[in-house]
């Protein structure tokens, strides 16, 4: 039985109206203390500016839904709203702490109410500037700050010929969001500089439509590896989030995306597997179509496994990490390593000195990096591109290199 979303939406709306209203009161106090504008005028400008940003975001969403791509002005408006929201949360918290003192003083004394102090307002502005600066960095430099993560994995049953075999993984390109070809090219140079034996891409080449990737074919076709370049689909690749004139138009879009994979030099695996051979020994690379809890479930795991020896060494490309939890980790035929993406690490969080946190962990138990269960590995790439929020803060775009080692 589906839950009624109305109570949650009302709570969500009430929270945001409360935050914006409380911030507006702070804007009025700032105007009273530091400007020639009246509090009412300053608050009116504040509300009109935010309503303009909201209108641009809504208009952009309709444009995206119609398959026309993501307009730059919509990206700017969405980024601005998100950055300002976080800053306003900080500003409101400082105001609230100061107001508690003012209200307490008024409650326990007969004096006239005390206005918000200059010190309180300036402290609130200074602290609110910190997340605002972080968002500016994230939307300009952070989203193209490609970071190489290297991981050595040991296996008892890795064929000896593949001891030291390397593979490079990227995921979640979301080409429709790119605006800086030079920055993307530098990321691709980093991929090639690793000189891995194998290259794999684990889904979401586009945001919504195949045409988003056309300008980038020449860039990504430069990626080469001796044992080949392989790819799978992610949930965004099927066109499920765009509005189509007919089912046929949607089908044609998907077929065009398949051709773009081929033009790029990627061997697209659609619920199938291939065998890699070295010095007479084999490992098996499996690629499943998207299968995720709460998302599309196009993939057929049994079909993907057909013809693979049960005791063979297997590497699975599966876009959504919830597939590992649902079907892979307990499957009778052991899959040694599953490579996923999908979460992006929410493009926001903290990773420092081994500590790792992101709001996405409240949705996904496994959301970035390496996990192990039942003697099987899952590695979740943080994504090469970005979506929704056109930036990254603390969770940088990732290029993964994995080294297979015999124990």
20-35 pLDDT, tens digit per residue, is 999 999 999 999 888 8
According to DSSP, residue 108 is labeled H
**Cα–Cα distance for residue pair 340/211, rounded to 1 Å:** 24
| Structure token digits, residue 276 | 């890699």
How far apart CA 192 and CA 378 sit, in angstroms, is: 23
Reduced to 3 states (helix: H, G, I; strand: E, B; else coil), residue 66 is coil
Rounded mean pLDDT, 102-122: 76
Please compute, for residue 64, the number of CA atoms within 13 A of its CA located in the half-sphere on the CB side.
23
User: Over the Cα atoms of the chain, what is R_g?
Assistant: 25
Q: pLDDT tier at 69 (50, 70, 90 boundaries)?
A: low
The pLDDT assigned to 73 comes to 84
Give the model's pLDDT for residue 1: 41
Beta-sheet strands, E only, within 161-287: 166-170, 198-201, 229-231, 267-268, 272-278, 281-287
pLDDT reported for residue 113: 61
**pLDDT over 90, % of the chain:** 79
Domain with CATH 3.60.21.10 in the chain: 142-406
Which residue in 352, 363, 346 sits closest to 295, CA to CA?
363
Strands of the sheet with 369-373, listed across from one edge: 272-278, 281-287, 314-317, 337-340, 376-380, 369-373
On the question of pLDDT at 273 being above 50, the answer is yes
**What is the dotted CATH code of the domain comprising 142-406?**
3.60.21.10
Q: Which residues pair with 241 in a beta bridge?
A: none
pTM higher than 0.75: yes
Tokens representing 158 are: 């890795």
């Amino acid at each position: 039985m589906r839950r009624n979303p109305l109570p949650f939406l009302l709570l969500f709306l009430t929270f945001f109206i409360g935050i914006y209203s409380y911030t507006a009161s702070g804007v009025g106090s700032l105007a009273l203390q530091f400007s020639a504008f009246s509090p009412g005028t300053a608050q009116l400008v504040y509300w009109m500016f935010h309503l303009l940003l909201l209108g641009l975001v809504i208009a952009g969403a309709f444009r995206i839904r119609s398959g026309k791509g993501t307009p730059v002005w919509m990206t700017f408006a969405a980024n601005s709203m998100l950055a300002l929201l976080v800053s306003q949360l900080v500003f409101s918290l400082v105001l609230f702490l100061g107001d508690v003192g003012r209200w307490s003083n008024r409650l326990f004394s007969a004096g006239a109410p005390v206005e918000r102090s200059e010190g309180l307002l300036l402290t609130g502005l200074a602290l609110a500037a910190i997340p605002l600066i972080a968002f500016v960095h994230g939307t300009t430099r952070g989203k193209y700050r490609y970071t190489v993560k290297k991981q050595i994995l040991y296996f008892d049953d890795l064929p000896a010929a593949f001891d030291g075999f390397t593979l490079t993984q990227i995921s979640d390109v979301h080409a429709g969001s790119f605006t800086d070809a030079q920055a993307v090219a530098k990321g691709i140079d980093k991929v090639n500089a690793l000189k891995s034996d194998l290259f794999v891409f684990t889904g979401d080449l586009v945001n919504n439509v195949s045409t988003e990737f056309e300008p980038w074919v020449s860039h990504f076709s430069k990626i080469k590896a001796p044992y080949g370049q392989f790819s799978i689909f992610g949930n965004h690749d099927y066109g499920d989030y765009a509005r189509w004139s007919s089912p046929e138009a949607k089908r044609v879009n998907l077929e065009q995306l398949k051709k773009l994979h081929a033009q790029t030099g990627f061997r697209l695996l659609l619920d199938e597997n291939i065998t890699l051979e070295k010095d007479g020994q084999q490992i098996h690379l499996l690629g499943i179509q998207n299968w995720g809890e709460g998302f599309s479930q196009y993939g057929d795991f049994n079909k993907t496994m057909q013809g693979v020896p049960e005791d063979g060494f297997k590497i699975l490309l599966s876009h959504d990490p919830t597939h590992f939890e649902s079907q892979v980790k307990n499957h009778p035929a052991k899959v040694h390593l599953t490579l996923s993406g999908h979460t992006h690490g929410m493009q926001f969080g903290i990773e420092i000195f081994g500590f790792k946190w992101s709001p996405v962990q409240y949705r996904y138990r496994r959301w970035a990096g390496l996990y192990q269960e039942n003697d099987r590995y899952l590695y979740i790439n943080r994504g090469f591109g970005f979506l929704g929020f056109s930036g990254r803060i603390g969770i940088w775009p990732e290029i993964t290199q994995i080294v297979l080692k015999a124990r």
